[in-house]
Structures are given as C-alpha cells and as structure tokens.
Structure 1
Amino acid sequence: MTILDTFKSRIQVAERILITTHEYPDADGIGSEISLCLALREYGKKVYCVNEEPLLERYRYLDQDKVVYGFKDFFAKHPDFKPDLMIVVDTNTKLRAGHQICHYIGDAIPVLYIDHHPCRGRDLSDHCIDVTAAATGQMIGEMIESLGVKFTKKIALPIYTSIIIDTSSFRYPTVSASTHKLVAKLMDTGINPPEAYNGIYGTKRVHHMHLLASILNTASTNKDETIAWMLLKKEDIDKYAGDVEDTHAFINNLLVLNNIKVACMFRDDGDHIKMSLRSSGEYDVGTIALALGGGGHSHSAATILNREPGETTEHVIDRAIKKVEEALKKMSVT
C-alpha cells in the first residue's frame, strides 16, 4: 500500500477530523495543516485545526478562513466536538504536539501521522512518512491532488509557503522535479512569488541587519575549515529588538564558505543552548544531531545542549564542535 493509499483509506472512514502539528510550529507545520483542513472541507469532512497554542500573528495571513485554534479556545467554542481521526502533521510523535494535545489524544483517538522527518527505530508503516519529501507541505499537496480536490489560492499559498521555508528557498538536496511540478500547479492559482516570499520572511527594519551583522561577526571555523559556526545570544536579540523566528535562516550564510561540510549555529538561551546544524547533503547532520540527543534530516537538524556544572558557553560550543569533528571523520572513513 502506498502512502497515498494509506492516506485515502484513513480519510474515507473519518467524518470528524482534527488536525494538529508540533508545538512552536514553523511554516511547514502550519501551512500543511491549513491547506489540508481547507481541502478536506471541500471533500465533505468536518475539520478543524487545533494546536497547543493560538496561531502567532506572523502566520495569520496564511489562515484566511480562521481554521486554526489554540487548544483552550477551540474546546471553549466546540465543547462537544468528538473527532474520529486526529491527523498530526510535520512530526511523527504526539509528544511533540504539546502537553494538552498529547493528553487529549491519549490512547482512544485514532491518529494518522503525516511527516517527512525520520522516525528511527519505530514502525510507522501504517502512517504517512516520506523522508525523501522536500517538505511535509509537498506531501500534503500530493495528497490533496489524490482526493481530486482542486487547488484554490487559499489552499495553495500555505503549501507553497511551507515548501519555501522547509527547503530554504529550494536549496536543499531533497528538492526534486516532483517538488517543482507541484509548485508550478500551486502558482497557477495566482500566487505571486515575491509577495509570498515577503509574506513569510517579512520585510525587515535596519535593526534586523544589525542583528545579522553582530552574529556573522562571531563566525569561526575549525582548522581545515570544514566546520563553521556562529553564536546567537539572547542579549543580542533583545538589543536589536529582534524576533527569534527571524533568525532561523541566519545559519545558511555559513554554507557559502569554501570547504564547508557542516554549518552550526548556537543559540544561547541561558539554561541551555540550542544547536542547529546544516549541510549541503554530503554529510548526514541528522545522524550527528541524534548522537547529541536531537535529530532531523540529513541536511538540516538540531539538538539541545545542556550545560555541565561550571561550563561557559564557549566550553559547550567547543565540546559540541569536537563531537562534530569526530563524526565527520567516521563518515569520511565509511
């Protein structure tokens, strides 16, 4: 049975559906759930999107029909809604959906995961997992087509946006001919690329450029320049009135360096440090992140680094970079 067959078979027997995504969602999760919700309504289903928290203001332009609710708001307005299927997009564990959502799903509500992240060591063959897809949004677009639902601009824009974000504007190795074929169909609905790009990335104030400059000024490399990294401090974000959501793409500036194999960005949040990793695809940063307690794709991954007693931020970074170097040596040997 193909992923599309699995999807259609689960949808056919469900009438009342809730869709959710991971906690602190990005545009791939948000765009995927909005587009799927609108398409399933066109298909005749009663559907809502319910997330752990209400939709952030920056993403509300994608939700023109206001289909996304925060958990408390939804059940205050629809206390008697009983779903016969819960669809979780852009993650493959209910634990990542947030405490309230996870508790609500429990063991009684049937769940369907739709995701393109690896699920190492777990059998999710009866769900929709495709690690070769460029974005969960690409999977959702193909699923909508399989139902025979036509793309409207309202349905197409959130998917288009999810693909822009999760491919870093089509630069990752998972982008395929199928990705661009779907994008062409989405654009046929009247999507304007510059408008869509500015919508999700936003037009910037000069303080955003100052924040980027301060972070780029911390860029360092190891001796053979195969690993590069930079440090983002909370005080810098506060100083330049920045938004953490606007800093995710900063790491991609390191991928232009000569000889680069792995790029890292460390975000010092005080109690812990978030480490993001990127590669051009030649080296699997998902495996590196997994060894550090995180996970992700071969080209894009992340983990949380906890401080040991007495450790400075520089010590944590040095420890992490040494582990990345060790991992690259092993990969080069194999």
Structure 2
Amino acid sequence: MNDESFEKIAKQIKQHNSFIITSHVNPDGDSLGCELALARFLKKLNKIVHIINHNETPKFYEFLDKNNEIQKYFPEKHNELIKNSDVIFILDTNQPNRLRSLEEPVLKSPAIKIVIDHHLEADNFADYYLIDEQATSTAEILYKLLLFMNNNLLDYDIAHPLYTAIMTDTGSFRFPRTDVETHQIIAHLLHFGVDPTEVYSKVYETWTPGRIQLLAKSLSTLKLEYDGKLAYMICTIKMFESTGTTEVETDNFTNYPMSIEGVQIGLLFNELDDGVKISFRSKGDIPVNELAKELGGGGHKNAAGARLFNVNLQDTIITTIQKAKKYLI
C-alpha cells in the first residue's frame, strides 16, 4: 500500500459525485467507524453520500451516529440508489457474501466498486482494492487515505469514529499488531478532542441486564478440551430468547475462554435460526483463520469467524473441536 494506491482511490473520489458506503453483516466498531468517518469526509467535499447496511446499528454503537446517517437496507427504498450511484465503497470486508442482503444489488450495480479492508484473501469482484493485511484495522488504512487526500478536513466528527474503530479492533490497543504507528495515529486523533474515557465507556460499559444474563448463561457452558489448550462457550437460541438479546450482543464474549491460563484457542458457538455462527480466537503463531477456512469462514491469524447454514449446533461443535486439534501446540 503506497501513494500510488491512495492516488487511484483519490482520483475516483474527485471524479464522481454520488457514493454508497456499506459493510459486513453484524457491523462492529471498525466497520461503523469507517463508514461514518468516510461519509463525513466525502460530505465535506460536497459529495452525495448514503450509508446502507444489512443490519441495524448495535445499540452500544449508536452514540457514533446521533444524526442517523446509517440506514438499514430496504430493497424498495435503496435498490435504485445503489443502482444509480457513481461509486460504492465496501469497507472492512472483501467478500461480497458478507454483505448479505446487499450482495445482489451491489454486484448488479454498474457503479465503480472500491474495497478498503485489512482481511486476507479478497474475492475478485471490485474495481479497486486498498488492502493492508498488516494493518490493525480498516480505520488505520482509511485514516492514511484521508490524510493523503486532505489532512485539513479532519475534525472531531471524523476523528471520533476513527478512534472508536481502532480502539475496538485492537482490543483497546492490546492485540499483536498494535505498534508505535498505531499509537501515533491515536495521538493525532486525540488532538481533535476525542475523549478516550467516553468512548470506552460507551462501547464497553453500557451493557443491558439481558446481556449480562446472557454472558452468565454462556459462561455456564464453558468447557475445556485437549488438556486445557482449547476452551469454548455456547449461546443457544433459548438463551437469546430468555434474555431478550441477539447474537450481536455476544461481541467480545470470546475474551473469556481466551483469558484462561494455558488456552491456545478459544471458540464461541452462537446458535441461530438458520444455522451456527462460530467466533475463533488464538494466541501466538496459531493460525486460527486456517481453522475457520475449513468451515467456510476466514479472518485474521488470531481472530476469525465462520457462519454455517442449516447445520445442527452439537454436530458443529464436535466437528470444529476435532478439526482444531491439529492447530494446537
């Protein structure tokens, strides 16, 4: 990723007027922060911008979007917008199937498609790719692009979601790729008045009672395998229903099995109406993304995911644990 890569994207922005911004199913802090930061930057260039997602924004990220800039996708409302836009930005994913309901209208649109992402193994569907697999987050890449284009346009409204995106995707600056450059970027964003305490509190200290109850139920399912090297937790449909929660509220639940001494791989199994979602975490050199790939998923070396459709929860747990054995040290 170099100035030439940035220049190609900058040229498309300068030459076009209408933009759609979207991201993956179940948006997280990185995807939402990037969408809002990019949209606000484009609006400063007097562009027409719409952010459209498959899911509604999780409640603990609503503080980023007080003016409801992000819209939930409805075909009758948005298909023409998507079809007639000049450019579509796909952020924090490089797999069109992760757009879920937006996959078809995005792929069918004649608009120029630009992917900005930090994940491995991009699908060949876009016109331009700005990808850095070594970046801590998509926000780190976007930050560099915005600075390249016009650093004078950065302000609090852009810095705030970028900070949130980097904070959440680095696990509050503790994940392996966090380095000197990461902290230099954060220091620059803080100059615009971002309050780290406020952001952390909004994301991590606004849980509902139902979410706490869900965590308690999930922790009661905690099991260890392979002499304590693998740990996993489960959230069932019954648990979601009894606590009034959804799979979105299991964000960061994988921290708990990973916090056990000696655990190398941590797993979270979420039972859904149409299948099972698995979150994978690992320590050190264990490529948990390779394990996820065996189950149709993907991600980073130490953090990945997979979504299996029309499968049984218990069968999926057994299969996944068996496949995980060869990755343990």
- Correspondence 1:95 to 2:91: no
Matched ranges for 1:243-254 at <5 A: 243-254=246-257
| 1:218 corresponds to which of 221, 230, 253 | 221
Question: In structure 2, what is the equivalent of residue 129 of structure 1?
Answer: 131
| Mapped partners of 1:188, 1:84: distance in 2 | 34
| 1:8 corresponds to which of 1, 4, 10 | 10
Offset at 1:68?
A: 2.2
Give the number of aligned pairs: 326
Identity of aligned residues (%): 26
Distance 1:269 1:223, change over 3 A: same
- Contact preservation (8 Å) 1:261, 1:282: no
| Mapped partners of 1:133, 1:172: distance in 2 | 11
Spell out, residue by residue over 1:297-321, the C-alpha distance to the aligned partner (whole angstroms, 9 max, x if none).
111111134566xx6x444312210
Distance 1:182 1:74, change over 3 A: farther
Secondary structure at the residue paired with 1:108?
A: coil
Residue range with higher mean Cα deviation, 200-209 or 135-144 = 200-209
- Contact preservation (8 Å) 1:51, 1:101: no
| 2:193 corresponds to which of 190, 193, 208 | 190
Spell out, residue by residue over 1:100-146, the C-alpha distance to the aligned partner (whole angstroms, 9 max, x if none).
45325415111010111112575979410111111111211221111
Matched ranges for 1:169-188 at <5 A: 169-188=172-191
- Contact preservation (8 Å) 1:50, 1:74: no
Q: Which amino acid aligns with 1:31?
A: G
Distance 1:36 1:239, change over 3 A: same
Question: In structure 2, what is the equivalent of residue 325 of structure 1?
Answer: 325
| Mapped partners of 2:160, 2:217: distance in 1 | 33
Question: In structure 2, what is the equivalent of residue 153 of structure 1?
Answer: 156
| Mapped partners of 1:22, 1:161: distance in 2 | 17
Distance 1:320 1:175, change over 3 A: same
| Mapped partners of 1:56, 1:314: distance in 2 | 28
Distance 1:56 1:318, change over 3 A: closer
Distance 1:242 1:196, change over 3 A: same
Offset at 1:54?
A: 5.1
Residue range with higher mean Cα deviation, 164-173 or 72-81 = 72-81
Secondary structure at the residue paired with 1:162?
A: helix
Secondary structure at the residue paired with 2:172?
A: coil
Q: Which amino acid aligns with 1:7?
A: I
Matched ranges for 1:226-237 at <5 A: 226-237=229-240
| 2:267 corresponds to which of 264, 267, 273 | 264
Spell out, residue by residue over 1:177-219, the C-alpha distance to the aligned partner (whole angstroms, 9 max, x if none).
2221111111221121121112223423455433323222222
- Contact preservation (8 Å) 1:294, 1:304: yes
Note the residue ranges of structure 1 that are not aligned, 5 or more in a row. Answer: none
- Correspondence 1:292 to 2:273: no
Q: Please tell me the root mean square deviation across aligned C-alpha atoms, in Å.
A: 2.9
Distance 1:119 1:79, change over 3 A: closer
- Contact preservation (8 Å) 1:17, 1:84: yes
Spell out, residue by residue over 1:77-111, the C-alpha distance to the aligned partner (whole angstroms, 9 max, x if none).
99699322111111113332233453254151110
Offset at 1:270?
A: 5.0
Distance 1:58 1:230, change over 3 A: closer
Offset at 1:59?
A: 3.3
Question: In structure 1, what is the equivalent of residue 31 of structure 2?
Answer: 29
Q: Which amino acid aligns with 1:6?
A: K
Note the residue ranges of structure 2 that are not aligned, 5 or more in a row. Answer: none
| Mapped partners of 2:213, 2:56: distance in 1 | 30
Spell out, residue by residue over 1:248-297, the C-alpha distance to the aligned partner (whole angstroms, 9 max, x if none).
21111122222221111111225522211001242111111001111111
- Contact preservation (8 Å) 1:289, 1:303: yes
Q: Normalization by structure 1: what TM-score?
A: 0.86
Distance 1:74 1:19, change over 3 A: farther
Distance 1:206 1:22, change over 3 A: closer
| Mapped partners of 1:148, 1:251: distance in 2 | 38
| Mapped partners of 2:296, 2:176: distance in 1 | 24
Distance 1:306 1:13, change over 3 A: closer
Q: Which amino acid aligns with 1:151?
A: L
